[in-house]
Amino acid sequence: MTAFYDPFMASLEKVLIRHRTDLLSQTKGIVLEVGAGTGVNFELYPEDVTVYAVEPSTPMYKKALKKLNRPNIHLFNIGLEEVENYPEIPKEFDFIASMLVLCTIADPEKAAKTYYKMLKPTGKLLVLEHIHSEGKLYGTFQKMVNPVWRPFADGCNLTRRQDKILKRNGFKPLKEEYFTLGTDWYKAVMTKKS
C-alpha cells in the first residue's frame, strides 16, 4: 500500500491541504508530529519552529526522508510509544500534530493519554482525522468494509471516533469543525482541560 499511498491520496490531499495549512501555520516553539507518513506536512511548517516527526512504518519513513529538505525538521523511524525514551527528542511540546494517524494506532486511548502527558500545560493539540459516520447508512457501510479496508490501508480503521477519544482523555476543543469529504472528518485545535 505504501507505494500507492501518495497517488491514492492525491485528489483528497488537494482539499485537505487547506486544513493542514490552517492548523500547522499556528505552530510555534517545539512541535511533535505523530505519524509523519510520507512527509506531506513538512513544507507547511513555519521555518522558525523545531519539528520532531515520528513515523513507525519504514517504507513511509523512507518516502518522507526524500521530502525532508529543511534543517528545522527532524525525522525518526519510531512510533509514539518510543518517543519518551528516545534521547534526541524532547519530552514536552508546545504543539502536537495528529493528522490521519489515530485511525491506525493500535491503542488510540493510550495514544491520547501520551499526547496529554507530552503536551505542555499551555500547549495545543492539532487534529485532522477522519471519523466514523453517525449516519446510519454510511456508518453501517463503514463497519461492513472495515475488516477488508484495514489490511489494505496499512491498519487504517474506519470505525473510530477520534474526537470522542481525545475529549474523554483530557482534551477540550478551542476550535473544532466537522465536515464531509466522502467520509466524515474532524478538525480541531485542542488544549488540556483545566
Domain ranges of the chain: 2-192
Strand, helix or coil for residue 91 = coil
Rounded distance, CA 6 to CA 143, Å?
Answer: 25
Confidence grade of residue 61 (pLDDT, cut at 50, 70, 90)? very high
Confidence grade of residue 141 (pLDDT, cut at 50, 70, 90)? low
Q: What local confidence, expressed as pLDDT, does residue 2 receive? A: 47
Quote the Cα angle for 188-191-194, to 5°. Answer: 140
Q: What local confidence, expressed as pLDDT, does residue 3 receive? A: 46
Specify the pTM: 0.88
Lowest mean pLDDT across 47-56, 72-81, 112-121, 134-143: 134-143
Instruction: Cell 513555519: give the residue.
Output: 46
% of residues, the chain, pLDDT over 70: 79
Q: What local confidence, expressed as pLDDT, does residue 52 receive? A: 98
Rounded distance, CA 176 to CA 98, Å?
Answer: 14
Q: What is the pLDDT of residues 4-42, one digit of tens each?
A: 444 455 566 677 899 999 999 999 999 999 999 999 999
Q: What is the pLDDT of residues 77-105, one digit of tens each?
A: 999 999 999 999 999 999 999 999 997 88
Amino acid at 29: G
Fold of 2-192: Rossmann fold (3.40.50)
Instruction: Cell 469529504: give the residue.
Output: 181
For residues 142 and 159, the answer to whether their CB atoms sit within 8 Å is yes
